[in-house]
Chain A
Amino acid sequence: MRSLYQRLCWVVCLLLQATVVQAQAPVFYFSVLNQRSATLIAQHWNPILAYVSKKADVDLKLKIGKTAPETTALTIRGEAQFAYTNHLFSPERIKLGWRVIARPDTDGIRGQLVVGKAASIQELAELEGRYVAFPSKESFVGYKVVMNELLRKGVHVMPLFAGNQEGAIGLLKSGKAIAAGVNEDVMLAFSNRESFQYRVLWASESFNDLAVMANPNLVPASIIRAVQKAFVEMRNDAEGKKILAHAAATLKIEQSYGFLMAEDQAYENYRRFYRDSLLKE
C-alpha cells in the first residue's frame, strides 16, 4: 500500500513538472559589451533588464563574456538575442540582420587617445614605436577609430590589449603603456572615480553611444517591439526613473539617462567608418 502511494506521488510530480515546463515563457538573453567589470555590468543592467522584462512581459536575462570580444562572439553565435553594443556595424556583421531598436539618451561617444597629464608626449608622431593600450580589437571608439587615425597619420605603435576600457586605462595608469585609446565617457568616469589626471592627444568625431539591438531572425517582431517600448518608456515611468537613477549611481554617473527610440540610420557614421577605414579586420 505504502509503495503504491509513493509511486503515485512520483507520477503526479512528474506530470506537474512537465506542465510547468510547457507553460514557462521563453528566455531571451541580453548581451552587454564589456566596457566595465562583469560585477559592475550586472549591478547596472540587472535592474534595468528586470524592469524591461516586467513591462514587456518577456524574460530577459543578462549574458556577458569574459571580455568584449567574447561577448561579441557569443552575440554573433546567437547565444544572445538582444545586445547593447556597437560591434555589429561592420559590413560583414550587418549581414547577420541585427537592427537598432533604441539608444541611450546621451551625447554620443568619442574615441580619444590620451596620455598621463605629466607625460612628455605632445604629438601623435611622438608615439611612433611606443606601447599604446587599447581595450580590444573589437572596441570601436577605443581601438578602431583611434588606430585608424594613427594609421592615417603614418604612426605605427605597439598595441597592448587589456580586455576592456578600464583595463586599457589601468595599463596607462601603471605606466606599462605611454598612451591609451579609450571611450571618452569611460575615461571621464574613471578619472572622476579614481582621481586620475590625463591629457587628450586626439579625439574622434562623435558617434552615438552603444545601441540596443535585436536580431529579428531570433526574436519575434512583437517581442522586439515590446522590448523597444519598454526601454523607450522607461524614462517616463516613475519606477523606471528610479531604476535608471540607481543604475547611474552604480556607475557613479551624476545624471541618469534613459533610452530613445532609434533605428539603423542613427548609426550611419559607424557604417561609413567601416567603409573608409584603413584598419583591416
Chain B
Amino acid sequence: MFGVKFNKISLLTRLLVATGFILLVMYPLATSLFIASEVRLYRSLVAGQTDATLESITHAVTEQAVIGDYTAIEQQLKARVAHVPFFAFSFTDPDGGKVRVQAAPPTLTSPTWFRRALSLPDGVIEKQVILGGVQYGTLRASVSHIQFINQAWTDVLSQLTIIGLAIFVLFGVMAATLRHGLLPLQIVTGMAHRLKKGDYQGAVFSSNNTAPEIRETIETFNAAVCREAWLADFAEIISQRNKAHHRIDDVLRLVCRRLQIDVACISFREADGLLQVPAVYTASRRPRMEDWLNLSDTVIERSRMVRAVRQTDRDSFVYVGLPAPIGATLTGVLNLFRFDAEQLDISRTQMELLELCAHWIGVTLAEEIQEQMMSEQKERAEAVLNNAREAIILINEDARVVSFNPAAEEMFGYRSEAIQGGEICQLFPKLTTDATCCHLDRGIHKIVEEMQQHIYGLRADGSEFPIEISFTAVRGMREHMGVAVIRDITERLAAEQVVRRSESRLRRAQRVAQIGEWEYSPMYGELIWSKELSEIFGLSAHTPVAYNQVITMIHPDDRERMALAFAAAVENGGIVEGEFRILRPDQTLRHVSVFGEPSFDDQGRRSSLFGVMQDITERKRVEAKAQTALVDQLAAEARNRSKSQFLANVSHELRTPLNAILGYSEIIEDEAQIANQPEIVEDSKRIQQAGIHLLALINGMLDLSKIEAGRMDLYCDRFDVNALLNEVAATVAPLAAKNANHFSVIRDAKVTEMYTDSVKLRQILFNLIGNACKFTEQGRITLTVQQMKQDGQAWIALVVKDTGIGMNGAQLQRLFEPFIQADASTTQKYGGTGLGLVISQHFCRLMGGAISVESHVGTGSVFTVKLPVEVPALKPVVSEHGQYSSQNNY
C-alpha cells in the first residue's frame, strides 16, 4: 500500500521532502560541531591570554608596589580591566591596603542552558607579589566568559536564520528549476499523444539550458519524428518554380528553423581562394559578417564536415560547415552559425538531411552560376556592340543581317529594326546578292573579295562613302555567323588628301626658296636630306651622302668653324646656326645658311639634329652690291659735311671783318652828313647796303651750314603767341609799307601760347612776310593764325598770303633748294640770298612741323607753316645728312 502511495508522489515533492529532511537534520548538527570547535579554540586562547595578561599586570604592579605608589597601581589595573575575559582586578598589601578596579559586569543574554552546555564558569585568579623574599601584596583577577557565551549564542541564532532562509530559497529554486527542466518532457509527452492521432506540429526544441539527458531524449524523439516532416518541407521548397536563389533562401530558412541556427549561409571558393557569399539567411540576428565569416583558415574539404568554436571580438559562436560541391574547381560550403553557444549538436538523421540540402544547394548553385555567366556574357557583348565606334553587323548563313549596332545605324542611316533580315548586299552597292547567298564560308570569302575591289558603303539616302571593313566568320554549334566591322574613312581620306597637298606646297616652297631639310643621327652616322639640298650641293638626287662628305664640301676657310658648330650641337644638344660657303663638284662657289636643332625620341632622349639649309648666294650678291653703294653714300655724306663745315668756318671768318666794314661805313655816313658831303653819304649807304646784303648772305650760309652739319639746336620756351605776333607785325609794318602793301594779322581766339623755339619761329615769319612784302606791290599781305586738332595733337597753322607776282610750277619745284630763287632775274630785281625758304623749311622740320606753298603766277602765293603747339619731348630728329640732333636742349 505504501508503495502505491509513494509512486503517486511527484518527482518535485520527493526532491523537496528529501532536501528539507537533510537540511533540518544536518544543519543543527553542523552548528553544534561548529560551536564546540569555537569553545575549544576560545579556551586555548583565553588560557594563554590570561597568563600573559596576569604576568604583565604583576610586573607593572610590582614595580609600583615597591615604590608604594598605589595611584600608579590603580592606573595599571584600570588599563587592563576591560580586556576579555577580565572584568575586575584588586591588589591587597600585607597591611590590608587595597586597590580595586572593576568594569561593568557583563550581562548574560543567552539562555542558562546554553551557558551550562558550554561549561565555561566564571572565577578569580590570585597571584602573590614577592620580591627578594618580601611580600608586597596579593593580586586578584576576576574572570568572566559571559561575553563569549553571548557572542556564541548570537552566532547560533544567525546560523539558524541563514538555514531557514537557505531552505526557503532552495525550495523555491529547486521548484522552478524542476518545473522548467521537466517542461520539455511534458511537451514530448503531449507531442507523443498527438502523434498517436497523426497530428505532427514540428520538432520539440530544447534550449541551451535544458539538461543534457533531457535534451538527448528530446533529440531522439525529434530524430524519430522530424525526418519525414523535414523531407516534406524540403520537397515542397525544391519543387517550386521560382528562381534558384529564392529556393536556396527557403532551404536555408528551413535549416535554421529545424536546427535553431542563428545564421545559415552559402559560400564557395574558386581556384583563387576568394570567398563569396551568394546567399545568407539569418534566423535571429545578423552581426557584422566580417567578424564571424573570417574562416579563411577553415578548409572545407570535399565531402567532409567541419566543426569549430570561435571567439571574435564581438561574438562567440559555434560553426559547422558542410561541403556543397558545385563543380570540378568550385567548392561550395553550407555554413551554419549559432552564437553564444559552446556546441551545436546535430543528430545523425539531421546530418543526413543537412548533407542532402547541401548537395541540392551545390547543384542548384551550379545551374545558377551557369545562367549568370551566360547572362553576363550576353550583356558584355551587347555593351560592346552598343558602344563601339565602328559599325558592327552580324549576318547569318544566308548573308542576311541579324544584328545592326547603333554605330551602323548612324553610319548607314538605317534603323536596326528596318535592316534586320535584309540582305547585306544592299549596304554595299557593288556586291551582288548571288555572291553572298551561298554557303557562308564561300559567301564570306566572296564578300571580302568583292569589297576589296569596291570599298564603298551605301547609305539609306543613296549616297556612297568609303569604308574600311574587317570580316570574321564565327562557327557555332547550331549555326555559323559572320561579323563585319566597318569604319567610315571619308574624313581620313580627306585628311590624307590635305596632307598630300600641304606636302606638295611645302616642296614647291622649298624649291623656290632653295631650302632643303636634313636630319643627322650622330649615333648611327646617318645623314638624310631632301633632294633640294642635293641640287644646292650639285649632287645627284639619288646619290647617298655622308656627313663627312658634306663637311669636305665646305669652303676650307669655313670648314673648321662649321665642323665645330655641328660637333658642339651634337655634344650639347644646342642649335647650330650659321652661314658658310661650299665648293660644288663643278667648282662653283655657293653661299649656304644652315639652321638645325636637336630632335628627341619618345622617351625624351636626344636622337638627332634636324634642320634646314638655304642657298643664299643671290642674297649675298645683292648684299655685297648694297654694301658698296652704302660705302659710296657714306663717303658722299662725309664730303658734304666737310663742305658745310668749311662754309661755316668761312662764313664766320667773313662776318667778322664785314661787321667792321658796316660799322665804319655808318661812322663815315654820319660824319659825311655832319660835314654835308652828300656824295660820301651815298657811297657810304651803298657800302652799307652791300655789306648788309653780304651779311645776310653770310648769316644764311652760316645757318644752312649749321643745319647741314647737324649743329642747329632748338632752344624751347613757353611764350605768348599773340605777343610774338604783335612783335612781328610791328617789325614788318615798315617793310610792308615800303611797297604800299596792306599787312594784317587774323588770329584765332583759341591761340594763346606755344612751347617751341620762339626765335626760330620769329625768323620763319620774318622770312615769309619779308618775301611777301618784297614780291608784292600795292597789294595785300595777311598773316592768318589758327589752332587745330589733328591725330590727338594740337597744331598751329601760320598762313602768309600775299597778292604778289606768284610762281609757276617749275619755280615752285626749285623753291626750297639752297641758293635758288624763283628766277635768276629775281635776285637781280628783288635781291636776297635765296636761303630764307630753305632755312625756314629746316627750322619747321626741327620744330616737328612742315612748310608748304601754293602759288599762281600773277595772283600771289600762300605759304603755310604748320607747327605743333608743344614740341614733342626728346624726339630725335634726323637731319638731312643722317645725323641726330638734340632738339630740346631745355
CB-CB contacts below 8 Å: B133-177 with A:
133-134, 136
Check B133–A46 contact: CB distance below 8 A.
Answer: yes
Check B134–A39 contact: CB distance below 8 A.
Answer: no
Residues of A with C-beta under 8 A to B289: none
Partner of B134, one of A37, A50, A64, A65: A50
Q: Give a binary string over B99-136; 1 marks a CB under 8 Å from any A CB, 0 the rest.
A: 00000000000000000000000000000000111101
Check B69–A64 contact: CB distance below 8 A.
Answer: no
B55 within 8 A of A: no
Q: Which of B59-67, B506-514, B770-778, B873-881 contacts A (4 or more CB under 8 A)?
A: B59-67
Separation of A38 and B131 alpha carbons in the complex (Å):
10
Return the chain B residue nearest A50 by Cβ.
B133
Check B133–A66 contact: CB distance below 8 A.
Answer: no
A44 within 8 A of B: yes
Separation of A250 and B133 alpha carbons in the complex (Å):
13
Partner of A46, one of B59, B68, B131: B131
A39 to chain B minimum Cβ distance, whole angstroms, is 5
Residues of A with C-beta under 8 A to B136: 42
A73 to chain B minimum Cβ distance, whole angstroms, is 13
A50 to chain B minimum Cβ distance, whole angstroms, is 6
CB-CB contacts below 8 Å: A44-75 with B:
44-47, 50, 62-66
Residues of B with C-beta under 8 A to A65: 67
| Number of CB contacts from chain A to chain B under 8 A | 39
Residues of B with C-beta under 8 A to A37: 63
Separation of A250 and B64 alpha carbons in the complex (Å):
19
Separation of A262 and B134 alpha carbons in the complex (Å):
28
Check B132–A44 contact: CB distance below 8 A.
Answer: yes
Check A38–B67 contact: CB distance below 8 A.
Answer: yes
Residues of B with C-beta under 8 A to A50: 132-134
Check A46–B67 contact: CB distance below 8 A.
Answer: no
Separation of A39 and B60 alpha carbons in the complex (Å):
10
Return the chain B residue nearest A34 by Cβ.
B67
Return the chain A residue nearest B136 by Cβ.
A42
Return the chain A residue nearest B68 by Cβ.
A63
Number of interface residues of B (CB under 8 A): 13
Partner of A47, one of B63, B64, B132: B132
Check B133–A39 contact: CB distance below 8 A.
Answer: no
A43 within 8 A of B: yes
Separation of A43 and B66 alpha carbons in the complex (Å):
10
Q: Give a binary string over B24-42; 1 marks a CB under 8 Å from any A CB, 0 the rest.
A: 0000000000000000000
A41 within 8 A of B: yes
Separation of A38 and B67 alpha carbons in the complex (Å):
7
CB-CB contacts below 8 Å: B51-107 with A:
59, 62-64, 66-69
Check B69–A66 contact: CB distance below 8 A.
Answer: yes
B717 to chain A minimum Cβ distance, whole angstroms, is 111
Check B134–A42 contact: CB distance below 8 A.
Answer: yes
Return the chain A residue nearest B69 by Cβ.
A66
Check B132–A64 contact: CB distance below 8 A.
Answer: no
A183 to chain B minimum Cβ distance, whole angstroms, is 21
Residues of A with C-beta under 8 A to B63: 37-39
Residues of A with C-beta under 8 A to B59: 39
Residues of B with C-beta under 8 A to A66: 67, 69
With A64-B67, A66-B67 as known contacts, state yes or no: A47 contacts B62, CB within 8 Å: no
Residues of B with C-beta under 8 A to A42: 62, 66, 131-132, 134, 136
Separation of A273 and B174 alpha carbons in the complex (Å):
98
Report which residue of A42, A44, A65, A250 has the largest number of chain B beta carbons within 10 angstroms of its beta carbon. A42
B325 to chain A minimum Cβ distance, whole angstroms, is 91
Return the chain A residue nearest B132 by Cβ.
A46
With A37-B63, A38-B63 as known contacts, state yes or no: A43 contacts B69, CB within 8 Å: no
Check A62–B69 contact: CB distance below 8 A.
Answer: no
Check B133–A38 contact: CB distance below 8 A.
Answer: no
Residues of A with C-beta under 8 A to B132: 42-47, 50, 250
Check A41–B133 contact: CB distance below 8 A.
Answer: no
A33 to chain B minimum Cβ distance, whole angstroms, is 14
Check B69–A39 contact: CB distance below 8 A.
Answer: no
B331 to chain A minimum Cβ distance, whole angstroms, is 86
Separation of A47 and B134 alpha carbons in the complex (Å):
8
A99 to chain B minimum Cβ distance, whole angstroms, is 26
Check B66–A38 contact: CB distance below 8 A.
Answer: yes
Check B134–A62 contact: CB distance below 8 A.
Answer: yes
Separation of A112 and B203 alpha carbons in the complex (Å):
106
Report which residue of B69, B132, B133 has the largest number of chain A beta carbons within 10 angstroms of its beta carbon. B132
Separation of A8 and B68 alpha carbons in the complex (Å):
37
B141 to chain A minimum Cβ distance, whole angstroms, is 20
Return the chain B residue nearest A66 by Cβ.
B67
B56 to chain A minimum Cβ distance, whole angstroms, is 13
Residues of B with C-beta under 8 A to A39: 59, 62-63, 66, 131
A249 to chain B minimum Cβ distance, whole angstroms, is 12
Check B133–A64 contact: CB distance below 8 A.
Answer: no
Residues of B with C-beta under 8 A to A62: 66, 134
A146 to chain B minimum Cβ distance, whole angstroms, is 27
Q: Give a binary string over A62-105; 1 marks a CB under 8 Å from any B CB, 0 the rest.
A: 11111000000000000000000000000000000000000000
Residues of B with C-beta under 8 A to A41: 66
Separation of A100 and B172 alpha carbons in the complex (Å):
95
B60 to chain A minimum Cβ distance, whole angstroms, is 10
Check A46–B62 contact: CB distance below 8 A.
Answer: no
Separation of A242 and B91 alpha carbons in the complex (Å):
32
Separation of A63 and B69 alpha carbons in the complex (Å):
11
Residues of A with C-beta under 8 A to B133: 46-47, 50
B172 to chain A minimum Cβ distance, whole angstroms, is 66
Return the chain B residue nearest A51 by Cβ.
B133
Residues of B with C-beta under 8 A to A38: 63-64, 66-67
Separation of A45 and B134 alpha carbons in the complex (Å):
10
Separation of A22 and B104 alpha carbons in the complex (Å):
44
CB-CB contacts below 8 Å: B794-847 with A:
none
B427 to chain A minimum Cβ distance, whole angstroms, is 124
Separation of A44 and B131 alpha carbons in the complex (Å):
9
B239 to chain A minimum Cβ distance, whole angstroms, is 103
Return the chain B residue nearest A47 by Cβ.
B132
Q: Give a binary string over A8-52; 1 marks a CB under 8 Å from any B CB, 0 the rest.
A: 000000000000000000000000000001110111111100100
A8 to chain B minimum Cβ distance, whole angstroms, is 25
Residues of A with C-beta under 8 A to B69: 66
Residues of B with C-beta under 8 A to A46: 131-134
Report which residue of B64, B67, B134 has the largest number of chain A beta carbons within 10 angstroms of its beta carbon. B67
A41 to chain B minimum Cβ distance, whole angstroms, is 7
Residues of A with C-beta under 8 A to B66: 38-39, 41-42, 62, 64
Separation of A171 and B418 alpha carbons in the complex (Å):
129
Separation of A63 and B66 alpha carbons in the complex (Å):
8
Separation of A250 and B131 alpha carbons in the complex (Å):
11
Residues of A with C-beta under 8 A to B62: 39, 42
Separation of A210 and B168 alpha carbons in the complex (Å):
83
B18 to chain A minimum Cβ distance, whole angstroms, is 69
B97 to chain A minimum Cβ distance, whole angstroms, is 15
Separation of A46 and B66 alpha carbons in the complex (Å):
10
B810 to chain A minimum Cβ distance, whole angstroms, is 145
A16 to chain B minimum Cβ distance, whole angstroms, is 17
Separation of A38 and B69 alpha carbons in the complex (Å):
11
Report which residue of B63, B69, B131, B134 has the largest number of chain A beta carbons within 10 angstroms of its beta carbon. B131
Q: Give a binary string over A241-274; 1 marks a CB under 8 Å from any B CB, 0 the rest.
A: 0000000001000000000000000000000000
B519 to chain A minimum Cβ distance, whole angstroms, is 105
Separation of A50 and B68 alpha carbons in the complex (Å):
18
Separation of A44 and B59 alpha carbons in the complex (Å):
16
Residues of chain B whose beta carbon lies under 8 Å from any beta carbon of chain A: 59, 62-64, 66-69, 131-134, 136
Given A46-B133, A50-B133, A65-B67, output 6 extra A-B contacts at Cβ < 8 Å: A38-B66, A41-B66, A42-B66, A46-B131, A62-B134, A64-B66
Q: List 6 A-B contacts (CB under 8 A).
A: A38-B66, A41-B66, A45-B132, A50-B132, A50-B133, A62-B66
Residues of chain A whose beta carbon lies under 8 Å from any beta carbon of chain B: 37-39, 41-47, 50, 62-66, 250
Q: Please provide the 9 A-B residue pairs with the shortest distance between their CB atoms, ordered closest to farther.
A: A46-B132, A42-B131, A38-B66, A42-B66, A46-B134, A43-B132, A47-B132, A38-B63, A39-B63
